[in-house]
Structures are given as structure tokens and as C-alpha cells.
Structure 1
Amino acid sequence: MSNEAREIYKHEEITRSNTLISAKYKSTLTENKIMVLALKRAKRDEFGRPTITFTTSEIKKVMGRDDGSFYTQLKSVAKAMTGRTMFIEDKEQHSFKFINIIHTAEFENGKFTVNFTPEMNNYLDDLKSNFTTMNMGILVDFTSNYAYRIYELLKTQAYRVDKDNTPLQIDYNLSELKLAIGCVNTQEERVQKELDRPNPDFDYIVNSVAKEKHFDKWYDFRVNVLDVAKRQINEKSDLEIDYEPIRSGRGGKVVGITFFIKKNVNYNEIEAKTEKENEILLKNGNSVVDSAKRPDDYNERFEEIMDYIDVRVSSKDLKAFLKAADYDVERVKKAYDLSKKQKEIKNFVGWMKKAIEEGYSEDVIHVIDGSEENAKKADEILAEYEREKATGSLAERTWNRIKKKEEYQEFLQYIADQGMTEKTLESIYIPKERMELYQSWIAENK
């Protein structure tokens, strides 16, 4: 999907305040991609707020996914985006502020609308200095959130590279870098309180205050963040970078990172290679979407289940869970939630894989709202789904049978009253989710 998105947006650029780019916040790769496109195309509404509306197809391309969990993932993204606070600091002016970015994010009638807060106008309009212009195609092509953020930060300094392309040296305090790229959750109350101080101690915040943090050990940070960022930036962007650790004393603890950046002289070749790959895929009758086995935000999904599962399991097993779920994070979470309700599991990893692959579910409740009749109808729907799944046809054929039932037209009228058409229903919900909606409606109305 990233190649397709890159191709779509490769001729577009976005100009943003360096203050905004350098802000410290925690976000996912999907949020960042939606955010950058929203900022690029936002127009003021009647209240003076920057606003943007995406179609379903466009948001799927930006998110880099076209699987069944799109609607669930979009809900999660919208919730996170509306709760995001940025810490913005101007060290030269000895000033700082926390700002809320998005006022509302809503999905209705197949369209996703983002309304920014009025404060965002200060970082978007009439920028005369301290700003950076970036290529949209490059930004949407990253598959690592950390590569995305490190590229943004380094790109703000790229104008300083001389005409001889001598590598430019940029030093970062390690803790401050972790806060800037989202390895530490800046939304935590105590973290924000410490950032609120006139001269925040970033080392103290990361090492002693923050509870939610990733890749705390230097080896993990180097392998999973810096090496991945270096590879992706050098392969996908107009920059070529390298880095080395800054240690406190000879052989001491790593306290910072020195980045070396210069213009990527192979950038035009990268663009040509991407275009050629796309042409080959299309000639062979495949879409660009089919070219990648893993989703673009694979690292983000892996990190999400790593945070969610409390049981000590290896990275290899976590990756196996994701693969078994066709990279659907919600399926992994559902299996794990169910595992916690079991009296005893002797082989957790084996149980999880089977639960994901076979779709383990809890026992059906045989009374709904005090009515056995309602429960019976709901049970019939579930039983029909399970029969179809057992024969390998999954839920699509079951859903098609439901559409032939007499009460289906009443169901369509019900969702129409909720502002949703049948076309919208089938484009944003997978068959199982449609069945769950139908089942709930049966239980409440029949």
C-alpha cells in the first residue's frame, strides 16, 4: 500500500512550522499520516477552524490498509487523535506551551471529518520563517513511525547541508529524542507536569517519571529504532543519514545521538525504481496493494499487541499471533481477553494461535433481555455463521443468506434511520461485524 500512496502524493508538498514538527508527543504512524494530509488540505470552516473531510477510499489509502478491521482501527485512531496534546518549546525565547490539536474527528456516511482547534492556525498560516517543506510521497511511504519522526526532525535541518554535500552533524540528547519521536508517552499527567517546568530535565522524565516507554535499553533502541530509521530514510527519502552514540566518558553510558545527514544523491533513482515496480505490478494485473504481504504499519501493530499482552512471550511468538490473525490486531486482543477468562491454560502460545485461527468465542447467552425467543433468533444467526465457517466459506455466504430473509428490509430501514446506507455498511464493516449489528437489532426488535 505504501507504494500506491507514494505514487498518489509524490507531486504534493506540505509546509509546516518547525516548532510544530519539533513538538514532543506520542502518536502512531497511522495518526501521523492522516495528520499530515489533513494539515495539507485543511480549509477553514464557519468557526475559523481548519477542517478536512476524507472519503472512505482515500482514508484507506492513507492508512495503508484495506482489510476488514478498517472501521475498528479508524475508531481507535480518531479517539487517539482527539486526545492528543503537543508540548511545544522555544528554547531561544525560553517559552513553552501545551496545545490540543484536534477538536473533533467523526465518521459518518462513509466520510471521515477532522476539525482542528483554532490554535492550529498559528502554525499553518502565513509562515515567513522557521518552516520546512517536505514531499508528501516520502512521508506516506514510511512503514516505521520512528523513521517517520526522525526524518521529520532531521529534515528541518537539511537546509544547512552545503553545496558540496558535506555530512552535517546534529546532536540530540537521547532522552529528548525519545520524547520527540514517541518512545515515551507524553500524555501521562506526571510527564506533562515535569515538561511544564521552566527547564525540564528530560533524563529525569524518561528514566524516573514516565511509566509507558518503549525500547528503554540502548541495544533495543539502536536495533528497533535507529537502525530501522536509517535504513528506511536512506532507501525511501531525499536524505542519507548515519549516526553514532554519544557516551558519558570512554565506554560509558549512551546519553545522546549524533546524526550525520546529507542529500541522498540516489533519490531520483529511488523514485524511478518505485515507478517501475508499480508499472510491473499493474501490467501483471495486480494492484500495488497486493505487492506487500505485511501491512505498512506492521511495526505499529506489533508494538500495540506487545503493549496489550501482559504474559511474558517472545517477539517471535507475538509475530506469530499477528500472522495467524492476518495482521488484525483486534483479533489478537480478543483472543487474549478470552484467555484471561480461562481457568487454566497449559500452553499459552499454542492456545492463543488456535484461538485466533479458529475464532474461539465465549458461550452464547441463551436469554437476551429476558426473552428466550429473542435469544433463539440470535443463536440461529450465530449457529448459521459457525456452520458456514466450518465448511471454509466463512461469513460472506452467511451474510448473503441473511440478506434474503424477510426482516432484512426492516433492518435496512433501521440503519437508514441511523444515517447509513447498505453500501456504506458493506464498505466499512466486515461480514462478521455486519452480522453482529444484525444480531443486536434482532435481539432488540424481534
Structure 2
Amino acid sequence: MAKKKDESYDLSILRGRQYSKSNSLINAKGTTSLLAQKIFSVGIQQAQLDESTGQLITTLHGGDLRRIFGNKGGSFYEHIRDLVEPEKDKASLLDWRIIYTNDSTKELEALNVVTDCKFKDGILEMRYNNRITDQLYQLKENYTMFSLEETIPLKSIYSYRIYEILKSEFDKQSYLAHKRGENLDNSEPYMMVMNLTDLKLRLGIIDPNENKEIYNALKKSNVDFDYIEQLSQKSAERKKDKDASNTGKPKYSVFSTFRKNTLDKAKEELDEMTSIRFEYEPVKSGRGGKIHSIRFFIYDKKKTKVEVVEKKIVKVLTPEEKDEFIDSLNEIIEERLKMKDLRAIAEAAEYDLSKVEKAYRVMSSKSSVNDITAFMISAIKGGYEEPVKKTTQFNKYEQRADDFVELEKILLDN
């Protein structure tokens, strides 16, 4: 049973209040606190433009902030002051620096999000960097709108950032799919694959500003994320040299710890508190099976539900029978696949040839498929049907115009 949203938040004051960010800004890399992210979002929801400077300015009253964040103690103001007043070893709003790709110039930029702020007489005033005004104000395309009622109750900075990233991707793919007349009821999930190091950078686990070499590596047309991992390791080792209590290892360098504290926590929180939910699977490569990416499956909670599926008894085949089945796959699938891919497809189909044949017909109906094995496995597990062409066009969204890779994987809940 899903838990209720945190009662300490005054959801009535949040209801109907939304904020927008450019998709480029959503995918920015940098690190800050959860409270800073939330105050930033509340602020841009009601920010006004100073036409003389081109800066967005927001004024937030302490009483409203108390109601929004449900904090009744005097310590809440101390948290606000900590954010406003730079102090050694404490992150402030003025320290919040991001690296992102500007949609207009297509160049990588590094900047401080907030240029100045003050908290006086219970009122917080902030000025956003005028270089990101066009990423926050009067957006017409390539942006995503979020509900404060969904984001403010989130308890983890990683849940907050993963929600924004996945919601942005869901809206993009939903818009394009509806435009093509596909998935009109949003009952099927959308898939995205993200490099693990890239995800850590977006979540602030790896700070792109801690090492100039990381910034230079990100500026390259083909980013070498393995190299960035090495740079992060070197930074951690240097910290150990200065501080004996430091482990000398990058944060969440062990995947099981990363999974527990970021992905699993976000999965639970998003399912409880937001309009989307997600499943995920690690993507491995190489002999050692190193995890290099995460494959996300993003669902609209209003259109889908989790169903309990009865376990099936799977016939146990002999090695010879399995080899014969693989030979049959070679006859069905015209494209030449590696043996390990054929075996993966066979396992997904539980060695049922009819499932493979059906999935292959579905794949053949697509104009193009980048990853045949991934698509076949998803089509088998999802019971994918051949699409029925529809003429309905989706034209209500103004916001996304990018070209995105065609959805290739659909995976139903276990």
C-alpha cells in the first residue's frame, strides 16, 4: 500500500502552483542541497523580471515558506540563513554552480544560479543569474512544467533530481508519440538509457566543478565518461591526503550503495508522491560485467497499475533442446545476432517460439530499431501487439520540438 504524502507539508498552498524549467537546465550538472532546490523552484514560480538588468527577482515571505515546508520551529529560519550566508564547509545558494548546454548557442556554460540573495525581517529576496533568464522565463518550447505539490514533499535530493529528469523525458516522448498517433492513452512506459557517470553528474554525486579537467572533458563532442570517473577518483584521493578521515573513494563508487540510496529511494518516493513512477535495470558490458548505464522505464501512474502476475511453471530444457531452439531463432530472425543475444531472447521468451515470432512481427512493423535484442526482449515481456494506425493527432503541447530516439522498449511490471 502506498504511503500518504508527508502531512507536515501544507499541500493546500501548493495546489495548482507550477514552475517551469528549460530541458537544458533540468539536465544541468552540479551539486546543491535539497532545500536550495526547493526554494529555487518556489522562487521561480513567482519571480518577476527586472527589465533593466534582465534578472529574475523573487521575494519569499517567511510565513509562506513555513507553511510550504511545514517547519514550525525557529530552526527553519536558521536553515534559510545558512543557505543565504556563505560559510566555510557549508553549501549556500551563492555557491550553487552548474554546468549546462545552452539551447541557443549549443555551447557548454558554467555559471552560478543565484547572483545575490538576502534574508532580512523574515523575507528572502533572490536574484537569479541573468544568463539563465531565458531558461526560466516565458518559455515556449523545450521546457517542462512541474507541480510544486509533487516536488516539495520529496525527501531526498536524488529523488527530486531524478523526478525532474524523468518527468522531462516522459513529457518529451509522450508529446512525440502522441504526435505520431501512438500510445494515445499513455498506458505504455517510455524508455531512456543514461550513462551511470552522467547520471551521477546530474545528481551532484560527482561535482563537475571540483576539477577543471572534468569541465574540459565535458566540453568535448564525445564525452569520455570513463575518464571522468578516473578524474573523480583522483579528486577523492587528493581529499584523503588532506583529511585522514576521508575514505579516498568517490561517493557511491560501489553500485549497490548507489542503487540503495538513490535509485531505490527515488523509485519509492516517486511512486508515493508524484504522477509518474519508474522501473529500472542496470546495463552491463564487457567480460567483467561492469555496469555502465541505467535503463529507465517511465510510467504515467494515472494510466497504469501494478498487477500481480501468477508464476508460471517453465519447462526445463536439456542443453541440446536449447541449442535446437537457438537454431530455430536464426531461421526466424533475419538479422545476424550474437549467440549471447539469441540466448537472451530465448530466455525472455521462456523458450516459447510463438512469443519470438510475435515479437519479431512487431519489430518488423517499425520503421527502424536501433537495438534489436533490447526491443525483442521488451516486446516479449510486454506482450507487445502490432500497432493499430490511428489518425488522431496530439497538438496541445507547445513545449518540445527536439528529435528523440524512437521508443524501443516496453516492459510491464513484474
| Normalised TM-score (structure 1) | 0.56
Residues 23-422 of structure 1 mapped to structure 2, 5 A cutoff: 23-45=28-50, 46-78=52-84, 79=86, 80-89=92-101, 95-159=107-171, 160-161=173-174, 162-164=183-185, 165-190=187-212, 191-209=214-232, 211=235, 213-249=250-286, 252-265=289-302
Higher helix share: 1
Q: Classify the secondary structure of the residue corresponding to 2:152.
A: helix
Equivalent pair of 1:238/1:267 in contact (CA under 8 Å):
no
**Structure 2 Cα separation of the partners of residues 137 and 267 of structure 1:** 21
**Structure 2 Cα separation of the partners of residues 202 and 102 of structure 1:** 28
The C-alpha deviation readout for 1:128-158, integer Å capped at 9, x for no partner, is 2111111111010101110110010011111
**Structure 2 Cα separation of the partners of residues 267 and 57 of structure 1:** 38
Structure 1 residues 6, 178: CA separation in 2 closer, same or farther (over 3 Å shift)?
Answer: farther
Shift of 1:5: 3.7
Q: Classify the secondary structure of the residue corresponding to 2:295.
A: strand
Number of equivalent positions: 268
Shift of 1:97: 1.2
**Structure 2 Cα separation of the partners of residues 84 and 134 of structure 1:** 21
Give RMSD over aligned pairs.
2.6
Equivalent pair of 1:2/1:64 in contact (CA under 8 Å):
no
Q: Classify the secondary structure of the residue corresponding to 1:155.
A: helix
**Structure 2 Cα separation of the partners of residues 185 and 63 of structure 1:** 27
Equivalent pair of 1:83/1:100 in contact (CA under 8 Å):
yes
Structure 1: 5+ residue runs without aligned partners? 269-446
Equivalent pair of 1:94/1:198 in contact (CA under 8 Å):
no
Which residue does the alignment assign to 1:20? 25
**Structure 1 Cα separation of the partners of residues 117 and 260 of structure 2:** 35
1:233 maps to a residue whose letter is: L
Structure 1 residues 234, 199: CA separation in 2 closer, same or farther (over 3 Å shift)?
Answer: same
Structure 1 residues 195, 251: CA separation in 2 closer, same or farther (over 3 Å shift)?
Answer: closer
**Structure 2 Cα separation of the partners of residues 218 and 113 of structure 1:** 40
Shift of 1:67: 3.0
Identity %, equivalent residues: 27
1:148 maps to a residue whose letter is: Y
1:229 maps to a residue whose letter is: A
**Structure 2 Cα separation of the partners of residues 168 and 250 of structure 1:** 29
**Structure 1 Cα separation of the partners of residues 206 and 222 of structure 2:** 18
Equivalent pair of 2:276/2:298 in contact (CA under 8 Å):
yes
1:174 maps to a residue whose letter is: L
| Normalised TM-score (structure 2) | 0.60
**Structure 2 Cα separation of the partners of residues 7 and 258 of structure 1:** 35
Structure 2: 5+ residue runs without aligned partners? 87-91, 175-182, 237-249, 306-414
